[in-house]
Structure 1
Amino acid sequence: MTEVANKKTLFPHKLLSLFMLMLWLLITNSISPGQWILGAILAWGIPYLTQSFWPQSMVLSSPLLATRFVGLVLWDIIIANMQVALLILGPRQKLQPAFMKVPLELKQDFTITLLANTISLTPGTVTVDLQMDEGYLLVHGLHVTDIEAAIAGIKSRYEAPLKEIFECSTR
């Protein structure tokens, strides 16, 4: 590790801290001064105390794209829930489960983790394995009629925006 990586900063992940504070206020369903203070302490303290576990700092190069990405993922979760419900509860049809090797263009561990979690959050798909040496994610789909199209969908809907949001500045 370099000397810069070992140096602790007072506010290591400002956006994460802001997100954590807002999440705390939503979870507690209160905007009382006490909740603001407790939320601020947690939102600062957790990233501060865990910063040595983060191999690289999280740089958000496009906040607007990040907001659109979160909206897209939430929309995909809603649609996938309905699709899975129809597959499971609907007329009897044969499911076509499949394993897919999704080649990775992402380089940072944090961004790869976000991609793997995004895939697993979407009902009907789950990230099974990561092969860093070979550069792919192994993904299982509940009903996949076209493996190449499914891989292309994951890469265009999730991987490309994540690369632009978090890895654009590392090129």
Structure 2
Amino acid sequence: MKRWRWLPYPMLSLSLTLLWLLLANQLSVGHLLLGAFLGWAIALLAGGFWVAVQPVAKPLTLIRFLLLVLMDIVTANIEVARRILGPQAKLHPGFVVVPLELRDEVGLIMLTSIISLTPGTVSADISDDRYSLLLHCLDVTDPQALVQQIKSRYEAPLLEVFPCSAL
């Protein structure tokens, strides 16, 4: 897709314009012009903050992976609700360090987002060298098993989908 220098992200500009019109809750020429200006200016100014997205090597693997993540989110919601509503003596919250093979920004963003979206786990910190991820977990009975589960269930498919993001 060819990008124009004066309009580098047309879909973002259009989306921001529509968002402005929805927030203003009025369709007038003034709001349309203001929304278009804000959409253009924000997209132009934010362009330097965008990360380069690697091409997806295996789109079908990505679709299967996203379905797996969706199922994990639903399952984790049920499990967290069961543990929260049950006796709290069974909870063992704690921090776990996960060594990483991913180096790509997009892959790391996806991994940390998936972990944080799954109830019961939160990505707390990533090391400056991107070699480890600190997680806070609601229930940590076996830290090594949790590390292996995250590496095999989430990191391995991301490495397969984005092969150039490995070590």
Instruction: Answer whether TM exceeds 0.5 for this pair.
Output: yes
CA contact (8 A) 1:9 1:48 kept: no
Structure-2 residue corresponding to 1:117: 113
2:129 is the alignment partner of 1:129: no
Look up the SS of the partner of 2:98 in the other structure.
Answer: strand
Aligned-partner Cα distance in 2 for 1:83–1:140: 16
2:85 is the alignment partner of 1:89: yes
What is the one-letter code of the residue matched to 2:60?
A: L
Aligned-partner Cα distance in 1 for 2:157–2:44: 28
Look up the SS of the partner of 1:93 in the other structure.
Answer: helix
Residue 79 (structure 1) aligned to one of 58, 75, 88: 75
Give the structure-1-normalised TM-score: 0.68
Structure-2 residue corresponding to 1:157: 153
Look up the SS of the partner of 2:90 in the other structure.
Answer: coil
Q: CA deviation at 1:169?
A: 4.2
Q: CA deviation at 1:9?
A: 3.8
Structure-2 residue corresponding to 1:38: none
Q: How many residues align?
A: 137
Q: Name the larger-Rg structure.
A: 2
What is the one-letter code of the residue matched to 1:95?
A: L
Q: CA deviation at 1:54?
A: 2.6
Unpaired segments ≥5 residues, structure 2: 19-39
What is the one-letter code of the residue matched to 1:146?
A: D
Look up the SS of the partner of 1:123 in the other structure.
Answer: coil
Q: CA deviation at 1:59?
A: 1.2
CA contact (8 A) 1:129 1:138 kept: yes
Q: CA deviation at 1:56?
A: 2.4
Q: CA deviation at 1:60?
A: 1.0
CA RMSD of aligned residues (A): 3.0
Q: CA deviation at 1:110?
A: 1.3
Structure-2 residue corresponding to 1:56: 52
Q: Runs (4+) of structure 1 moved beyond 3 Å?
A: 45-52
CA contact (8 A) 1:126 1:141 kept: yes
